[in-house]
């Protein structure tokens, strides 16, 4: 897990570095969606991002209502 924190007053964020993700302009593939849904329910949103431009790897992230 990368971190769980409050994004704003209504949503939380978690990174799932163990989930292999194929990222297409922020859109994720099915394994990321499924992992986020299993951990946080059907109201979750999934996206991908590269937090470090010097490290060429994308990570799966989940956001959900806190």
Confidence category of residue 14, pLDDT binned at 50, 70, 90:
very high
- pLDDT for residue 37: 96
Count of structural domains within the chain: 1
36-64 pLDDT per residue, tens: 999 999 999 999 998 888 988 899 999 99
Q: What's the domain range around 51?
A: 4-65
Strands of the 11-16 sheet, one edge to the other:
4-6, 11-16, 59-65, 45-49
d(CA 33, CA 23): 12
């Amino acid at each position: 897990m990368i971190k769980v924190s409050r994004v704003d007053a209504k949503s939380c964020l978690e990174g799932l570095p163990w989930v292999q993700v194929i990222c297409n302009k922020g859109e994720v593939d099915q394994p990321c969606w499924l992992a986020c849904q299993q951990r946080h329910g059907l109201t979750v949103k999934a996206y991908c991002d590269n937090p470090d431009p010097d490290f060429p790897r994308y990570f799966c992230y989940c956001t959900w209502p806190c």
